Amino acid sequence: MNNNFCIIMAGGIGSRFWPMSKSSMPKQFLDILGTGRTFIQMTYDRFTKVCPPENIFVVTSVDYKDLVLQQLPELSDDQVLLEPLRRNTAPCVAYASYKIKSINPEANIIVAPSDHLIMKEEQFIAEIEKGIDFAQNNDVLVTLGITPSRPETGYGYIQVDAKSEYKNFGNLFQVKTFTEKPNLEMAKIFVSSGEFFWNSGIFIWSLKSILAAFDQHLDDVSSLFKKGEKLYGTEDEVHFIAKTYSECQNISLDYGIMEKAENVYVLCADFGWSDLGTWGSLYENSSKDDSNNSIKGGQVFTYQTKNCIVNVPKDKVVVLQGLEGYIVVESDNTLLICKKEDEQQIRHFVSDVQMVKGPEFV
């Protein structure tokens, strides 16, 4: 277990959860589910079951350092890796991997977003442990695939190839293809085929395997971070990272490595996963009243209203009449009323509000 490390990616701004999630307080730092723990706190709690606390690293924006340390006081400053610029997931993982190499070259690494919902944690941890077992004994890159419950257009998909015989796991396959978010017709074909699984964005590998993959498929990114091998953990790390990020390309791990590598495997399972990337996904995973409304707020009155998600302050009296399939959210000084089916437009709304009203509203 001492060789197990976890990289929690927590730099996103969560614009699709606006207006509750804002640039000053993104969704990973919110208790949207009302559990008493924020997304990043639940993520940290989850991975302490497979990693020593001192082996968990959070990669986030320089703007969120204080938020991370406030919500995860167990972490030392050195466990919070600060990105000066947003450069997507590949530079994020490269930075954390070289940092971990300076501590333990024999590390096994789990990479996970900070804002996922896992309903069946025991089953999830069991799959993580299987993935670590496979990854530490083989030169492979492992991802977790989720058995689809519906033809979802908001997730990427993984098509499986031959089943692996490793220790008779039964749910371990070599990856055939990665596919970005499909349209509804294609999603239906994917689900009915039985060959496609949702791409969870959770990865497991040995440090040696991921650094070799960077060298092979993203050498320009790898070479930048490799230059600082003697600087990680020193006072010069911050200045080195600032320079490196200014020179590094913006590229995702999926596109830069996973879609190109030939040693990619997927553990397929169903452990109650959702990336909760949208109000619609939150609605799907929330309890509902007799009219199929998901309501968070202490004084909400509904009449002839159904299939809505409502999230308003506890002290606000809200009366809704005649709505069907709407998102109604109030946070601070902002109110959003939007059709659920049109929630992909929220990013456009955010852009317009910022342009007209300024950054304080977004």
**The predicted structure's pLDDT at residue 114:** 95
Task: Give the pLDDT score at 284.
Answer: 86
With respect to residue 282, please indicate whether it lies within any of the assigned structural domains: no
186 and 167, same structural domain?
A: yes
How is residue 277 written in tokens?
């990337």
Angle at 149 between CA 147 and CA 155, to 5 degrees: 75
Question: Same structural domain for residues 306 and 202?
Answer: no
CATH, residue 108 = 3.90.550.10
Residues 294 and 216 in one domain: no
Domain end: 222, 242, 277, which one? 277
State whether 168 and 316 are in the same domain: no
State the SS3 of the chain. Answer: CCCEEEEEECCCCCHHHCCCCECCECHHHCCCCCCCCCHHHHHHHHHCCCCCHHHEEEEEEHHHHHHHHHHCCCCCHHHEEEECCCCCHHHHHHHHHHHHHCCCCCCEEEEEECCCEECCHHHHHHHHHHHHHHHHHCCCEEEEEECCCCCCCCCCEEEEEEECCHHHCCCEEEEEEEECCCCHHHHHHHHHHCCEEEEEEEEEEEHHHHHHHHHHHCHHHHHHHHCCCCCCCCCCHHHHHHHHHHHCCCCCHHHHHHCCCCCEEEEEECCCEECCCCHHHHHHCCCCCCCCCEEECCEEEEECCECCEEECCCCCEEEEECCECEEEEEECCEEEEEEHHHHHHHHHHHHHHHHHHCHHHC
Indicate if 149 and 176 belong to the same structural domain. yes
Considering the domain boundaries, does residue 97 fall inside one?
A: yes
- 78 in a domain, yes or no? yes
Shared domain for 17 and 66, answered yes or no, is: yes
Q: Do 208 and 324 share a domain, yes or no?
A: no
Please give the Cα distance from 295 to 329 (Å, whole number). Answer: 10
* 253 and 304 belong to one structural domain: no
Low-confidence ranges of the chain (pLDDT < 70): none
Report the predicted TM-score, pTM, of the whole model to 2 decimal places: 0.93
Residues 174, 265: contact at Cβ < 8 Å?
yes
Per the structure, the count of domains in the chain is 2
Question: Both 42 and 110 in a single domain?
Answer: yes
Q: Could you report the per-residue pLDDT of 193-252, keeping only the tens digit for each?
A: 989 999 999 999 999 999 999 999 999 999 999 999 999 999 999 999 999 999 999 999
Residue type, 171: N
pLDDT value at residue 291: 97
Looking at the structure, tell me whether residues 122 and 183 fall in a common domain.
yes
Q: For residue 292, is it within any domain?
A: yes
Q: Using alpha carbons, select from 224, 216, 259, 260 the residue that is nearest to residue 243.
A: 224
Last residue of a domain, one of 277, 302, 325: 277
Q: What is the pLDDT at residue 275?
A: 80
What pLDDT shows up at residue 285? 84
Which pLDDT belongs to residue 13?
A: 83
Residue 3: what pLDDT?
96
**Residue that terminates a domain, selected from 227, 257, 277:** 277
Q: Is the peptide bond before 148 cis (omega within 30 degrees of 0)?
A: no
Q: Do residue 46 and residue 152 come from a single domain?
A: yes
Q: How far apart are CA 2 and CA 21, in angstroms?
A: 35
Round to whole Å and give the CA distance between 226 and 122.
37
Please indicate, yes or no, if residue 354 is contained in any of the structural domains: yes
pLDDT (0 to 100) of residue 280 = 86
Domain of 327, in residue numbers: 288-361
Residues 143 and 58 reside in one and the same domain = yes
Q: Find, among 201, 178, 49, 185, the residue nearest to 117 by Cα.
A: 201
